[in-house]
Amino acid sequence: SQQGEEDPQALSIQEGENATMNCSYKTSINNLQWYRQNSGRGLVHLILIRSNEREKHSGRLRVTLDTSKKSSSLLITASRAADTASYFCATLLSGTYKYIFGTGTRLKVLA
């Protein structure tokens, strides 16, 4: 079973707007990673945030992590048509080497 759930399942915005997607998980984690996937191809690693971190930035990406609420958010600022993809969060379960993925958010950025 998948422990992560992304919200919303689908998101459609205009180019230039910001996109926010959320991820919730159920058990203790070592870290959380966000990935992008275009049209059923391989996953592109976006950002890793450790369980003792609260916020990280990478270019137009901002990730937050709230371990008390077992949730994370990914913010993409000034979105572009090329950002159209599915976005997944993956959590590394504490004490294991097993990553659990959520069901993904399908983002569509309209030009």
Report the nearest approach of other proteins to the CB of residue 89 (Å).
9
43 binding other proteins? (CB under 8 A):
yes
Residue 62 interacts with other proteins (CB under 8 A)?
A: no
Phi (first) and psi of residue 36, to 5 degrees = -115, 140
Out of 16, 45, 54, 57, the residue judged to bind other proteins by CB under 8 A: 45
Q: Pick from 13, 48, 61, 75: which binds other proteins (CB under 8 A)?
A: 48
Q: What sign has the CA pseudo-torsion 47, 25, 39, 77?
A: negative
Q: What's the CA angle centered on 81, arms 77 and 83, to 5 degrees? A: 55
Mode of pairing for the β-strands spanning 105-110 and 61-66: unpaired
Binding site for other proteins (CB under 8 A): 2, 4, 30-31, 33, 35, 40-45, 48, 50, 88, 90, 92, 96-104
